[in-house]
Amino acid sequence: MSNRLENKVALITGAGSGIGRACAQMFAKQGAQVVVTDLYADAAERVAEDISQAGGKAIGMKVDVGREEDLAQMVEAAMKTFGRLDVLFNNAVNKNPDTARDVDFLNFNEDLFHDNMRVNVLGGVLACKHALPHMLEQGQGSIIFTSSTSSIAGEVAQFSYGASKAAVNWYVQTLAATFGKRGVRCNAILPGVIRTAALDGWANDKMVQGFVDIQNVPRLGLPEDIGAMAVYLASDESSYVNGALMRVDGGMSCTTPMVPVVRAYL
The residues with which 222 forms a beta bridge, in sequence order, are: none
Question: Is residue 232 annotated as part of the catalytic site, yes or no?
Answer: no
Strand ranges of the sheet holding 33-38, from the earlier edge strand across to the other edge: 57-62, 33-38, 9-12, 87-90, 141-146, 184-191, 245-248
| Cβ 96 vs Cβ 33: under 8 Å | no
The residues with which 34 forms a beta bridge, in sequence order, are: 10, 58
Rg (CA), the chain: 18
| Cβ 44 vs Cβ 37: under 8 Å | yes
Residues 39-68 as b/e (b if ≥16 CB within 10 A, e otherwise) read: beeebbbbbbebbeeeebebbbbbbbbbee
Catalytic residue among 161, 232, 240, 265: 161
Residue type, 214: I
Known catalytic residues are: 161
